[in-house]
Chains A and B, each alone.
Chain A
Amino acid sequence: MSENTAPVPEVDVESTPLLKVRGLTTAFKSSGAMTNIIEGIDFNLYPHETLAIVGESGCGKSVTSLSIMRLIQSPGKIVGGSVELEGTDLLQLSEEEMRGVRGNKVSMIFQEPMTSLNPVFTVGSQVMESFQIHQHLSKPEAREKTIEMLRLVGIPAPETVFKEYPHELSGGLRQRVMIAMALACRPRVLIADEPTTALDVTIQAQILRLLRELMDETGTATILITHDLGVVAQIATYVMVMYAGQAVEYGSVRQIIEDPLHPYTLGLLQCLPRLHEKTDRLFTIPGAVPSPDSYPAGCRFCPRCNRACERCRDERPPLMELPDGRRVRCWLYADAEGAVDVSTAAPKGGESA
């Protein structure tokens, strides 16, 4: 696991966050009832920052990002909270207004570059479209900007690649194209959902480096969704750990990695194999993530926690903010010194936080 060598940028807590998410709750209809998939998600995002959202499959990371983009499809529905982008609550916008935001102010890149590009249109035309829709450029203008963008993301011979189809490019090139598409209109926020999972390790490194460079250059804030703590260490500024639809820990990347608080976070870190240690078996957290319609009455992690107690079984732990700015949802820290309860009440329509 490599260390993040770049200095953590200074965060000016007085300045307004680029993205302010409060109490974001999304539910899905299953067998008649609406069940919350994610609940009470809160975080702030500032320019130049990368927030890594980490967790196992099914914890709600993708749902969170799709909710921010308002790409949740029936039978799902955002049932509460707010998502303020530079002061405007995205959840209150009309669909048409939201379309003006997607790909423009907030962009997303997805995990599978293989299937995320439309196979029957040229790569260039797909990138060009973003310019045409949001910036209303003419065709020649859009074309020029597209080629520039392709060059920017490190694609060699961009004029040639412009005319090519996705199936003619390698995975790494395709992901670069996706990044080009996403950053074309210089979005304020970029959501990257497992951008390197499907790529080779070497390509992974290149893509991550590219992302970092672009972030630095443009000041775009990034939400990076991943289950790979190695990636987190490389480019994240802050980390939010999610479990069973809730944020269970939040802190700077250094804090999380060097001093994890929540038992789940600890478990995750222990799962990472160490090169210089010889083991017969890799560590796994026993048990499995509960499904949304059968969450336990108390702490959701309780059944798998090795430090659980009576209280954990019966009562829901509140989200506590500690003096160093970290947040953790665990009874172990509920009574810590200087801890403040910052749980937001989840809206009706599901189970409360």
Chain B
Amino acid sequence: MNGCAQGNNGVSRRGFVGGMGAAALAMLSSGLVACGGDSGTGSVGEDGYKDTLVVAAYGDQDTLDPQINVTNDKVLRLLYSGLLVVQEDGSIAGDLAETYDMSEDGLTWTFHLKEGVKFANGEDFTSADVVATFERLLNPDHPLRYTDTVAFIDKVEATDDYTVVMTMNTTYGAVEDTLAMQCCFIMCKSTLEEFGYDIGTDPETINGTGPYKVTSWDIDEQMTFAVNENWYLGEPGTPNIIMKVIPEASSRAMALENGEVDIVDRPAVDDVERLSSIEGLTLVSEPGYGLQGFQFNCSEYSKCQDVNVRKAISIAIDREAIVGSLFKEIGETPTHGPLVPMNRGYVDLGVPTRDVDAAKQLLAEAGVPDGFEMTIMTFDGYNKGVELAEAIKDQIADAGIIAEIVTVDSATFNATLNGLTPEEMKYDMFIMGFGGSSLDPDASLRRICVTSEDGLNTNNYGWYSNARVDELLNGAITLVDQEKRMEMYEEAQRIIYTEDPFAVYLNLRNSLFVMAEGVENFSLNPLQVPCFETIKVKA
């Protein structure tokens, strides 16, 4: 039998425990003194506006080199500008190029540069910078991500300090839209000489003509911007910007509710309803960011090769119902064609109505009256990617088509759509986003719809092949007559959307932002990119 003294043992035991509890509490409460919530988001100016705008981003930039950048377009436009720019109404105007003109034959373009523009480091902007920028982008020995995009340019020369002449190697219908893209932002020659291909990761390598300059960049944490005093267009609304990387959607929402950030880029769809009902928070949900849908695999190894099968699937799906129920909170609507309304040459082709009988009819014509089995690949990196696949599966089942859904991760998704042969492709349909970084329809259509030259699915992921579409798209890009071009694109859209379906287009994506009460002048440009430089934040 073991001994344990009777009586008041408790005193010393409790004393010990109590002491530790008190210590822990003391530690915690001293933390309260430092007080969380708002940590250094700048001061308030005399006019009552904050001097720092804080934005919560869902991911970080990969690089700030415009000729390589993949991530998104929100940041580059704060640091650089280009020869041309897309205006609010969608038309193209000169930016760093004061005026410009095209030769009769369309092969020579002359740009008259704005004078008195300075880079962030104080150097003057001249034609030498334009030449250096394009030399780098066009360099065949070191192709960059966007080298292909400007392949129509033969050479770029400076005739004097403020005149640049570009010679194209073919007539090209989308010159202006391309030059207005972010990959054509102008970089400073001396910076290029100093840093070469190392531009983009260190703040000191970034020297542009935009409203801001980068003052610090903690990768995956935050990027800070300060006003570029040399900006040729005046002053931005708020002198400083901090972009915080908050990968978890709920954490972004909380940061906004806490007052730690002013704007949240891409809140979680499930948070949208809750956030917009909180007093003082505003939801911005603008359509036109891109399209989402399921693309067909049209190769001879796919169940969807036959046009009638594709038409059948397309008509068996009730887009209104699916989009209406899944995207109700954010207000996304079904697409009316393979382009977004803001695209030049956009045609409203309506939303197909569901007709299961017609679908069965088409299947009969295709020789599979009782339906068949197929696989659909989906990926939850797309908004509601899995739910959309499930919805489609349910609906085409009514026509006798049994679909198996395979959900993959991002790397596998990318691997499947990257230079496979038709035999290697395992899926008959796959989720996809559509859109381009320019308003010209060529950017959204040609690469992905034109028959693959080498038989691999490098750009045309589903081996779509329609001779007339090839003719139209390849022809339209070389024409300079914009009216003629748009006619050809209209015909192409009809074929792609209805006659020889390229994909089942579902919803028109909205860009989503939630912001705090004091945020003023928030706007999106025609490409759905937020213009942070005009924003003022009332304290």
Residues facing A in B1-30 (CB within 8 A) are 1-9
Does A77 have its Cβ within 8 Å of any Cβ on chain B? yes
A95 and B4 form a contact (CB under 8 A) = no
Does A203 have its Cβ within 8 Å of any Cβ on chain B? no
Give the residues in chain B near A69, CB-CB below 8 Å.
3
The residue that A94 contacts in the complex, of B1, B2, B3, B8, with Cβ under 8 A, is: B8
Does A66 have its Cβ within 8 Å of any Cβ on chain B? yes
Q: Is the interface of A mostly helix, strand, loop or mixed?
A: mixed
Expressed in whole angstroms, the Cα–Cα distance for A63 and B1 within the complex equals 8
Expressed in whole angstroms, the Cα–Cα distance for A217 and B530 within the complex equals 97
Expressed in whole angstroms, the Cα–Cα distance for A95 and B1 within the complex equals 19
Does A62 have its Cβ within 8 Å of any Cβ on chain B? yes
B8 and A73 form a contact (CB under 8 A) = no
A188 to chain B, nearest CB (A): 20
Given A62-B1, A66-B1, does the pair A72, B7 have CB atoms closer than 8 Å? no
Q: In chain A, what residue has the closest Cβ to B7?
A: A95
Give the residues in chain A near B6, CB-CB below 8 Å.
70, 72-74, 77, 95
A99 and B3 form a contact (CB under 8 A) = no
A37 to chain B, nearest CB (A): 9
B396 to chain A, nearest CB (A): 71
A263 to chain B, nearest CB (A): 28
Q: Is the interface of B mostly helix, strand, loop or mixed?
A: loop
Residues facing B in A286-342 (CB within 8 A) are none
B90 to chain A, nearest CB (A): 80
Residues facing B in A64-103 (CB within 8 A) are 66, 69-74, 76-77, 94-96, 98-99
A95 and B3 form a contact (CB under 8 A) = no
B3 and A72 form a contact (CB under 8 A) = yes
Residues facing B in A29-73 (CB within 8 A) are 62-63, 66, 69-73
A59 to chain B, nearest CB (A): 13
Give the number of residues in B that approach A within 8 Å (Cβ atoms).
9
B4 and A71 form a contact (CB under 8 A) = yes
Expressed in whole angstroms, the Cα–Cα distance for A339 and B292 within the complex equals 111
B8 and A99 form a contact (CB under 8 A) = no
Q: In chain B, what residue has the closest Cβ to A65?
A: B3
Q: In chain A, what residue has the closest Cβ to B5?
A: A95
Give the residues in chain B near A70, CB-CB below 8 Å.
5-6
B14 to chain A, nearest CB (A): 14
A236 to chain B, nearest CB (A): 24
B483 to chain A, nearest CB (A): 93
Give the residues in chain A near B1, CB-CB below 8 Å.
62-63, 66, 72-73, 76
Q: In chain B, what residue has the closest Cβ to A96?
A: B8
Expressed in whole angstroms, the Cα–Cα distance for A270 and B8 within the complex equals 47
Give the residues in chain A near B7, CB-CB below 8 Å.
94-95, 98
A161 to chain B, nearest CB (A): 27
Give the residues in chain B near A94, CB-CB below 8 Å.
7-8
Expressed in whole angstroms, the Cα–Cα distance for A96 and B8 within the complex equals 8
B215 to chain A, nearest CB (A): 57
Q: In chain A, what residue has the closest Cβ to B8?
A: A95
Expressed in whole angstroms, the Cα–Cα distance for A62 and B3 within the complex equals 11
Give the residues in chain A near B3, CB-CB below 8 Å.
66, 69, 71-73
Expressed in whole angstroms, the Cα–Cα distance for A245 and B304 within the complex equals 94
Give the residues in chain B near A72, CB-CB below 8 Å.
1, 3-4, 6
Expressed in whole angstroms, the Cα–Cα distance for A71 and B5 within the complex equals 5
Expressed in whole angstroms, the Cα–Cα distance for A72 and B7 within the complex equals 11
Give the residues in chain A near B5, CB-CB below 8 Å.
70-71, 95, 98-99
The 9 sampled A-B contact pairs (Cβ below 8 Å) are: A63-B1, A69-B3, A70-B5, A71-B4, A73-B2, A94-B7, A94-B8, A95-B7, A95-B8
Residues in chain B within 8 A of chain A (CB atoms): 1-9
Residues in chain A within 8 A of chain B (CB atoms): 62-63, 66, 69-74, 76-77, 94-96, 98-99
Give 8 new A-B contacts, CB below 8 A, not counting A71-B5, A72-B4, A95-B8: A66-B1, A69-B3, A71-B2, A71-B3, A71-B4, A95-B5, A96-B8, A98-B7
